[in-house]
Amino acid sequence: MIKLVLKNKKIYSEKELKKLKKSLEYLEYILNSNLFKEKVLIQRFKDSGGLSCDEIYNKITHNYTKDKKAVIEVTLDIYKVSGTLINSVKYSQKSILKTYLFKHIFKYLNKEKIASILIHNLAHKIGFTHKGIFSRTRKYSVPYSLEKIVYKFQ
């Protein structure tokens, strides 16, 4: 079972914290569901490093569940800056997933979108990549495919 824990809770407003907690609970529910597993196993991934769907699923889940008490520490920095990008990633430590969300956009994001941003960045953290420029295969890369699965999860 995967457990997501929000780090640095003191840096968020009460409203932001509530929204982030809901997003993390939602993503945690998805990652631990059989339906997520089924969706990953039938997905047609590109740029997967030669891994099968089963190997991708195992890398996502077992990368963090070696001790059967998997805890993924998530740090989100919400900050005010002008620009049009929704998210960018920075890993400050190997054990921490750090995602930056622009404050002027964060307020409009729902829990599904925040969860999808997090899974995209989690995929990067465990070694999956995609092309930096737009290409026909980019949307089928592991990070973008997982983002779509989470965003449209039902």
Domain range for 105: 2-151
**pTM of whole model > 0.75?**
yes
Work out the number of other CB atoms within 10 angstroms of the CB of residue 60: 22
Listing DSSP states for 14-45 in one string gives HHHHHHHHHHHHHHHHHHTSHHHHHHHHH---
Full pLDDT tens readout for the chain, 154 residues? 777 777 766 777 888 889 988 999 999 999 999 999 999 999 999 888 899 999 999 888 876 545 555 566 666 666 555 554 444 433 334 455 567 676 777 788 899 998 998 898 888 888 888 877 777 888 899 999 999 999 999 7
Inter-residue contact 27 to 150 (CB < 8 Å): yes
Residue 79's pLDDT is 59
Report the run of H or E that residue 77 belongs to, with start and end.
Answer: strand 70-79
Domains held by the chain: number: 1
